[in-house]
Amino acid sequence: MHPSKLASALCALALALAALAGSIAAPILIRPFYYAQIDALDLPRQTGWSHETIRQAYDEVLDFCVLDRPFGTGTLAWSESGRNHFADVQKLFWLDFAVLGAALAAAVGMLLLRRAKRFSFYRFCGLGPGFWAGSLAAGLVLLVGGLAALDFDRAFVIFHALFFPGKDNWIFDPAADQIILIMPEVFFRNCALLIGGVLLLLCAALVLSGLPLRRSGSV
């Protein structure tokens, strides 16, 4: 069976995209991650709102962004401008979920075809596609993480300029959109740390799967 360079490259790309999209989805889908920060960031004392009020507001925003339920922020005030920003956020969330689903489907499909002996993966430098996928994704997170660590405030602004071009409705007025008071910048920094941590763990697993020592079952 002739090893396929194309299949190996495509599998590596699919695995890298799956790892990246999956790590981004982590803070979105794991709501207890936010719940734990309500007290850790002392939000009830800082805002004057109860734990239940804060959690309800967050849940309603996430329900809108993830499940397309009617927009709301519990008992907190919100503006049409704020709602429009979260509508843009919803599109980005759904794009991430679509990339995750497509990448996983592609990777699993190729692995099943390999198992069915339709082809084998070419091992660039003796290493399987899992190694290259993990290395690619890890290199990306280290580069972006390093730049963000140098100046998170600037990285935060650049991120919004890239993903919300020509818009400034992500700059909330706390009086009109009180939701921003329960999503301080440190929360988004913690989300970035979670994404980086999950991605590095996935990358480590992928790299190990492609090493020569596991040639018989490596990816």
Task: Specify the pLDDT at position 40.
Answer: 95
> Mean pLDDT, to the nearest integer, of 72-78?
97
Q: How confident is the model at residue 179 (pLDDT cuts 50, 70, 90)?
A: very high
Banded pLDDT at 125 (limits 50, 70, 90): confident
| ∠ CA 185-49-153, rounded to 5° | 5
Do residues 138 and 207 make contact, with C-beta atoms less than 8 angstroms apart? yes
Domain count, the chain: 1
Strand, helix or coil for residue 124? strand
Q: Which has the closest alpha carbon to 128: 2, 5, 8, 1?
A: 8
Predicted pLDDT at 3: 84
pLDDT of residue 215: 46
**71 with 171: CB under 8 angstroms?**
no
Q: Let me know if residue 76 belongs to a domain.
A: yes
Asked if the structure places residue 147 within a domain, the reply is yes
pLDDT score recorded for residue 126: 87
% of the chain at pLDDT higher than 70: 96
Q: Above 90 in pLDDT, residue 177?
A: yes
Q: Is 101 strand, coil or helix?
A: helix
Rounded to an integer, the average pLDDT of 67-84 is 96
Q: Is the pLDDT of residue 97 over 50?
A: yes
- pTM (two decimals): 0.88
Tell me what the mean pLDDT of segment 80-91 comes to.
Answer: 96
User: Region 128-145: what's the mean pLDDT?
Assistant: 87
* Averaged pLDDT for residues 84-103: 97
Element (H, E) at 78: none
Whether residue 81 lies inside any domain: the answer is yes
Band (218; pLDDT cuts 50, 70, 90): low
- pLDDT surpassing 60 at residue 203: yes
* Assigned domain for 200 exists: yes
Q: What is the pLDDT of residue 75?
A: 96
Q: What is the mean pLDDT of the chain?
A: 90
pLDDT at 154 over 90: no
For residue 46, the enclosing domain spans: 3-214
Residue 58 lies in a domain: yes
Domain assignment present for residue 219? The answer is no
